[in-house]
Amino acid sequence: MTTFEARLASHAATTDAFLGRVLDDRVDDAGVPERLRQAMRHAVMAGGKRFRPFLVIEVSSLFGVSTRQATATAGALECLHCYSLVHDDLPAMDNDRLRRGQPTVWAAFDDWTAILAGDALLTLSFEILSRSETHANPTVRNELVSALAIAGGPVGMVGGQALDLSSDKLGDPANPTLDYVRRLQAMKTGALIRFACEAGALLGQASDQERLALKSYGAHLGVVFQIADDLLDATGDAATVGKATGKDAAAGKATQVSLLGVEAAKDYLATMVQAALDDLAPFGERGAILAQAVHFAAQRAK
């Protein structure tokens, strides 16, 4: 196991423990109704690499913030990410019955429970950010709330999902351009990865310059992540990848790979990997683990 993999696993365990504790809080008549709590647990405790929490924790550690101090923010972000998966999986959206081999929330419960569990997790993420355990300074907590609301909202993740579904369900636009696909991906998957890095900088009360460098790192990393995914779908075989491939082409979905071709997409991936690594230059050796995260994201495309 590489240092990167060990830290990824360790931060995932820390995040899981935090989320488990939050969801088991106040199991009584003044607490969360039991069916809703079970659905929220099902959504959140379903495993996953916890890559966004890893980024929050590792970026903040550049500024001497301990894992313990960064955990609430990491957990809040993961709550929001999990809500987005619960709603995306709904029959009215992507209609997915399985996620990581387990029934999705609506399949395990029903649609209304999944809608409410998603709403509850989204709301909970802001509640967690507002707590003093997130940061002793309320100004920092307020900056985190603002940044997460922008990243997760209509000009960020939800907006990206709206563009994606307009394309899938309404065929609008009829011929997406490369710029359009990049905007969609930067919103739908990029915004939360960018926020993870920005949140680490906010927790560490980084300088404006450091914060901008880390947002840029997050933006480039998000692109790496997405193109690697698209390449995997286009060129991987199901046995190696561990899930069905060729889904984008079968669905006629416009991706950077379908618009650029495989070779040009690989070139662009390499350019974005280098850009992300360049963003880390100001941090010298301290940025080594974040550099490994870029290679981790890119290597899935091999």
Residues lying near a second copy in the complex (CB under 8 A): 26, 29-33, 35-37, 40, 87, 90, 92-93, 110-113, 115-116, 118-120, 122-124, 126-127, 129-131, 138-139, 141-143, 145-146, 148-150, 152-155, 158-159, 161-163, 165-166, 169, 183
Q: Cβ closer to a second copy: 58 or 198?
A: 198
* Nearest approach, Cβ of residue 152 and a second copy (Å): 5
Q: Cβ closer to a second copy: 31 or 246?
A: 31
User: In angstroms, rounded to a whole number, what is the distance separating the alpha carbons of residues 277 and 240?
Assistant: 27
* Nearest approach, Cβ of residue 233 and a second copy (Å): 22
User: In angstroms, rounded to a whole number, what is the distance separating the alpha carbons of residues 129 and 139?
Assistant: 11
Tokens of 250: 């079968």
Alpha helices in 188-301 (DSSP H): 191-203, 208-235, 238-241, 247-250, 256-260, 262-279, 288-299
* Nearest approach, Cβ of residue 83 and a second copy (Å): 8
* Nearest approach, Cβ of residue 132 and a second copy (Å): 9
Q: Cβ closer to a second copy: 149 or 212?
A: 149
Q: Cβ closer to a second copy: 29 or 208?
A: 29
Output helix, strand, coil percentages for the chain, rounded to the nearest 5: 75, 0, 25
* Nearest approach, Cβ of residue 12 and a second copy (Å): 24
Query: Coil, helix or strand for 153?
Result: coil
Q: Cβ closer to a second copy: 93 or 277?
A: 93
CA 180 distance to own-chain centroid: 20
Helix (H) or strand (E) holding 12: helix 3-23
CA 225 distance to own-chain centroid: 10
Contact predicate 208/293, CB 8 Å: no
β-partners of residue 99 are 102
β-partners of residue 103 are 98
Q: Cβ closer to a second copy: 57 or 147?
A: 147
Q: Cβ closer to a second copy: 183 or 295?
A: 183
* Nearest approach, Cβ of residue 74 and a second copy (Å): 18
* Nearest approach, Cβ of residue 195 and a second copy (Å): 12
Can you point out the beta strands (E) in 147-193?
none
Contact predicate 71/19, CB 8 Å: no
* Nearest approach, Cβ of residue 162 and a second copy (Å): 4
Q: Cβ closer to a second copy: 169 or 247?
A: 169
* Number of other residues whose CB lies within 10 A of the CB of residue 241: 13
Residue 231 φ/ψ region, left for φ over 0, alpha for ψ in the -120 to 50 degree band, beta for the rest: alpha
